[in-house]
């Protein structure tokens, strides 16, 4: 995940690609917890990319609004996002 497809020069000490990382925390009715980590670049001149990593969750498709829907790895209960 360190590729710089457009070959833009690094500036100073920063990463060659600006990465935005968003974490969402989930919990099920039995108290198990999970995390969804979404990484995406925020670089206007390079190709958009996005990667999602999940821990403690099983991807169960999309909910009616088009958002990712997860169930618990341990008990398969629906996961609810923590406020």
- Under rule CB under 5 A, which residues in 22-61 are in contact with Zn ion? 28, 30, 32
| Minimum distance of Zn ion from residue 80's CB (angstroms) | 11
The burial class, CB within 10 Å (0-12 / 13-18 / 19+), for 34 is: buried
| Minimum distance of Zn ion from residue 37's CB (angstroms) | 19
The verdict on 72 binding Zn ion (CB under 5 A) reads yes
**CB nearer to Zn ion: pick between 2 and 30:** 30
Angle in degrees, CA 34, 41, 17, rounded to 5: 120
Residues of this chain that interact with Zn ion (CB under 5 A) are 28, 30, 32, 72, 74-75, 77
């Amino acid at each position: 995940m360190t590729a710089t497809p457009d070959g833009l020069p690094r500036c100073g000490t920063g990463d060659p690609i600006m990465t935005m990382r968003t974490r969402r925390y989930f919990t099920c009715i039995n108290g198990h917890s999970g995390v969804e980590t979404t990484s995406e670049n925020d670089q206007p001149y390079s190709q958009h990319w996005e990667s999602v990593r999940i821990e403690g969750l099983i991807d169960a498709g999309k909910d009616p609004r088009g958002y990712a829907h997860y169930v618990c790895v341990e008990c398969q209960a629906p996961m609810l996002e923590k406020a």
